[in-house]
Structure 1
């Protein structure tokens, strides 16, 4: 799993990220017969991600994830995914789930986009949510 990397910009490393998280991401990709060439998750603050959103997408709002894919094929994943830890923690609190579960949902969301899933329309968003739930069902909770 040397092809999946976790980096941390201006935040502390979340305690619940582990090699099991990386194995889980590989499992998701393999389900779709995709190979992860290099997938970098960069965990950061709201302000760090806001600056990326402004600079590269011309959006002036907070978001939980921005994914930049570098491959022309959904079968070969090469990407950087920037995730705001602050945003995922706030979202988790507002919907009543753990920060760990929400962070993993967002990680899966980014990977699912790279695998070709979209969420612009209501139908696409419903399918994306279904796929996120499926992805989360594959995770083995820590300590079991």
Structure 2
């Protein structure tokens, strides 16, 4: 595997993203979504994920790391129902990966999401290199 290909490896991508997250995230402050009380929001969590994703703007693999930041944020939000503090480095990798790859499939197959052709090609390359 070439160096460029190894940088598309899930574990390598995840390490890059998790390195930017705080060691611990306070998720004690939950609130129900006003429109749907069955949904909830962790105050401040989205802003953390968005700011981390913005750090990757302009990089060739920005589509991958942006989607991975969203997957980490979503995984933390899901876990927030059960605890008040989460260490992103301790998230179950298979859960984050499943969340990430579902989002990538959606990005690659739904033109309404606005990803560029080059982004979709990179997503397809990711999957060709990360088959389980």
Q: Give TM-score, length-normalised by structure 1.
A: 0.37
Greater relative CO, 1 or 2 (CA 8 Å, sep 6+): 2
Larger radius of gyration: 2
- When you count helix as a share of all residues, which structure comes out higher? 2
More strand by share: 1
